[in-house]
Amino acid sequence: MDHVAALLVELGLLFLGLAVLGLLARRLGLSPIPFVLLAALALGDGGLVPLATAEPFITAAAEIGVVLLLLTLGLEFSATELFASLRRHGPSGFVDLVLNAPPGFVAGLLLGLPWQGALALAGVTYISSSGIIARLIGDLGRLANRETPSVLSVLVLEDLAMALFLPLLVVTLTGGGPVAAVAGIALSVGAVLLVLVAAQRHGHHLGRLLTHRDDEQVLLRLVGLTLLVAGLAQAVGASAAVGAFLVGLALPATFADRARAILRPLRDLFAATFFVAFGLSTDPSEILPTLPAALLLAAVTTATKVGTGWYAARRDGVALFGRLRAGTVLVARGEFSIVIAGLAVAAGIPELGPVATGYVLLLAVIGPLITRFIEPVAARCRPAPTPG
Amino acid sequence: MDLQETLLPGVGVRYELTTGSGQVLGIVVQRDGGAEIAVYDARDPDRARGMFRLEPEEVDAVAEVLGAPRLTQRFADLSREVPGLRSARMTVRSGSRFAGRPLGDTRARTLTGCSIVAIVRDADVVTSPTPEELLRAGDVLVVIGSGSGLEELDRRLSEQA
C-alpha cells in the first residue's frame, strides 16, 4: 500500500474501533475513556498492532484535541456561576484541594519522580472528570437531587483551580525554580481575572466578531482564533491548553451555547484522538509494575473524594445517603487527569505516564460503578417509612 | 409558601417548592430551555424520584396553562392592588406579521413580560389562549403587563409582515 492508502486505512480502522468501544462502554454504563486508553495501549510500539503510518498524524491531532477540550471547558464557565460557587461552596473547594492533591504529590515523591512530576501527579489525583460526572448525574436522574448543586459547584471550582494550576505546572516543567513558579501563578491569576473582567465588559464585541448566520463561518472563525491564541501562548512559554481555556472564558454566555453545540462533534473526534495518542505514548509493559502503586493511590483518593463530597453535601444540609451519593459521584477521574499527565510526559517525565494511565483506568471505571451501586445499597439500609 | 432557588452550574437553575400540605416539588430549568420536574422520595428527601422531562416547547405550553388562568382570576384584584400592573386591549391589524400565525410566535411573555389572558374575536372570547391559537386580523388581545411591556408588545404587534 502507498503512504496515503495506509494512513487512511489505519485511521478508518482506528475510528471504527473507537465507535465499537464507545458503544460497549455505554452499554455497560461506563465512560469510553478507559476503553480507548486500553485499546491504545494495545496499539503502536510494543503493542499488538503497529500504527506506523498514522502515528505522526495522531500526535498532531492530539494537540488539537487538548486545545478543543480546554476551549469547551472555558466555554462552560460563566463569571456569575463561578462567583456564586465561590461564595456558597468556597470551603468545599478548599477541602477538595487539601484532601485530594497531597496524596498524589506524596505518591509521586515515593515513586521517585522529580518534584515537578509529583506536582503533576497531585493534579492528576485532584481533578475529577467533569465530563464523566455530568453524564452520570443526568443518566442516574440526579439532576433535581438536593446534593447535586454542591457536586456541580465543586466541579466548577476545580475548573478554576485547573486554570491556575496548568500555567504553574508548565512553568515548573520547563525548569523554572520556585521564583518562576510563583511568578507563573501570579501571571495566571492575573490573566484569568483580566479575561473574566474583560469578558464581562467587552465579551459581546468578541461574540459579535465570531457570530454569523452560517454554522460553518462560526466554526472556522472560532477554531481559527483558538488555535492562533493557543499557538501564541505556547510560543511565549505558557501552554497551548491555557491559551485555549482563556479564549473559552472570554466568549460571552450568549454565544457560548451555540459555540458548544457547533464544536461538540469536532471536539469529540479530536479528544478521542488525544486519548489514543496518550495510550500510544505509554509502554504497556511498564504499567504492570506500577499497578500496585496506582491501586493504592486509587484507593486512598477514592476515600478522599468521598470525604470531599460528603463535606460539600453536608454543608448544604443533605442527609446521609445524599452525602454518600455526592461523595461517590466525584470519584471518577478522566480527561483532565490525562491532559495533566500528558503535559508532564511531553516535558520529559515519561515515568509519570504508566502510573497516571493505570490510575485513570482504575478510577474512570470504579468511580461510576460505586456511585451506581450506592443507590440500591442505600435503599436497603434506609429506615422504613413511618406509616401515615 | 416556600420557594427556594439554587444555581446548578453548567446546567441551569433548580427550584424547590414546599407546598402548604408539606409536599415538595423540584423543578430544574435547564440552559437550553428544557426542564425536569421531580417529586422527592419520602424516605430520602434529598433524592428525586419520578421525573418528568420537558422539551422547551412543552415548558412554554405548561407555563401558559398554569400562568394565564391564574392571571385572569386574579386580574381584577391585582390591577387594583398592584400599582405597576396595567391591562390593555390591542388589535391585530390586517398586515401585521402575526396575523395568521400562532399566538406563541409573538413570544409576548418572554420578550415583553406581558400575559395575553384572552382573545376577543367578533362575538367570541377565547379565554386563556394556548400558544397554538392562530391569530387573525381583527382579533383583540386582552393583555396584562407593565406599562413599558405593554407599549413594547403593541409596537411588536403592529410590525408589518
Looking at residue A8, which CATH number applies to its domain?
1.20.1530.20
Task: Give me the pLDDT at residue A214, please.
Answer: 87
In a domain, A384, yes or no: no
Task: Give me the pLDDT at residue A65, please.
Answer: 92
Yes or no, beta carbons of B11 and A325 under 8 Å apart: no
In a domain, A388, yes or no: no
Query: For A77-95, what is each residue's pLDDT tens digit?
Result: 777 788 888 888 999 999 9
Share of chain B above pLDDT 70, in %: 89
A314 and A146 Cβ atoms separated by less than 8 Å: no
Letter for the amino acid at A252?
Answer: P
Of A9-18, A180-189, A252-261, A314-323, where does mean pLDDT reach its minimum? Answer: A180-189
Angle at A62 between CA A44 and CA A68, to 5 degrees: 155
Q: Tell me which of A75, A78, A83, A143 to substitute to probe the interface with B (most B C-beta atoms closer than 10 Å).
A: A143
Yes or no, beta carbons of B43 and A134 under 8 Å apart: no
Residue A231 has pLDDT above 60, yes or no: yes
In a domain, A327, yes or no: yes
Share of chain A above pLDDT 90, in %: 34
Query: For A184-217, what is each residue's pLDDT tens digit?
Result: 777 777 877 788 777 777 777 777 788 888 888 9
| Average pLDDT of span A141-154 | 90
Residue A147 has its nearest CB partner, among B26, B42, B46, at B46
Q: What is the mean pLDDT of chain B?
A: 82
**Residue A128 DSSP one-character state:** -
Yes or no, beta carbons of B48 and A141 under 8 Å apart: yes
Cβ of A129 under 8 Å from any chain B Cβ?
Answer: no
Q: What is the mean pLDDT of chain A?
A: 86
Task: Give me the pLDDT at residue A227, please.
Answer: 93
Angle at B70 between CA B65 and CA B71, to 5 degrees: 105
Cβ of B156 under 8 Å from any chain A Cβ?
Answer: no
Torsion of CA A351, A353, A359, A363, to 10 degrees: 170
Q: Tell me which of B2, B44, B52 to substitute to probe the interface with A (most A C-beta atoms closer than 10 Å).
A: B44
Cβ of B127 under 8 Å from any chain A Cβ?
Answer: no
Letter for the amino acid at A143?
Answer: L
Question: What SS3 class is residue A283?
Answer: coil
Query: For A235-282, what is each residue's pLDDT tens digit?
Result: 877 778 888 988 888 887 778 888 888 999 999 899 989 988 888 888
| Average pLDDT of span A3-11 | 86
Task: Give me the pLDDT at residue B46, please.
Answer: 86
How many domains would you assign to chain A? Answer: 1
Task: Give me the pLDDT at residue B74, please.
Answer: 53
Yes or no, beta carbons of A153 and B45 under 8 Å apart: no
- In order, the DSSP letters of A305-352 are HHHHHHHHHHHTT--HHHHHHHHHHTT---HHHHHHHHHHHHTT-TTH
B86: left (phi over 0), alpha (psi -120 to 50) or beta: beta
E runs forming strands in A40-109: none
Of A113-117, A192-196, A345-349, where does mean pLDDT reach its minimum? Answer: A192-196
The Cα–Cα gap between A314 and A327 comes to 10
Task: Give me the pLDDT at residue B112, please.
Answer: 87
Cβ of A281 under 8 Å from any chain B Cβ?
Answer: no
Residue ranges of A 61-80 with Cβ closer than 8 A to chain B:
76
Yes or no, beta carbons of A145 and B46 under 8 Å apart: yes
For residue A221, the distance in angstroms to the closest alpha carbon of chain B comes to: 23
In a domain, A312, yes or no: yes
Question: What SS3 class is residue B32?
Answer: coil
Residue A382 has its nearest CB partner, among B6, B43, B49, at B43
Looking up cell 466578531 gives A209
Of A121-125, A142-146, B124-128, B135-139, where does mean pLDDT reach its minimum? Answer: B124-128
Domain parsing of chain B, residue ranges: 2-54, 65-157
Yes or no, beta carbons of B8 and A152 under 8 Å apart: yes
The Cα–Cα gap between A357 and A336 comes to 12
**Residue B137 DSSP one-character state:** T
For residue A147, the distance in angstroms to the closest alpha carbon of chain B comes to: 7
Nearby residues of A271 by Cβ (< 8 Å), 6 or more positions away: A65, A68, A69, A335
* Whether CATH 3.40.50.2300 fits B65-157: no
Domain that residue A188 falls in: 3-23+32-378
Residue B48 has its nearest CB partner, among A130, A145, A378, at A145
Yes or no, beta carbons of B48 and A76 under 8 Å apart: no
**What pTM was estimated for this model as a whole?**
0.76
The Cα–Cα gap between A39 and A280 comes to 9
| Average pLDDT of span A346-356 | 89
In a domain, A387, yes or no: no
Residue A331 has pLDDT above 90, yes or no: yes
The Cα–Cα gap between A130 and A336 comes to 9
Rounded to the nearest 10 degrees, the angle between the axes of helix A32-41 and helix A335-346 is 30
A340 and A120 Cβ atoms separated by less than 8 Å: yes
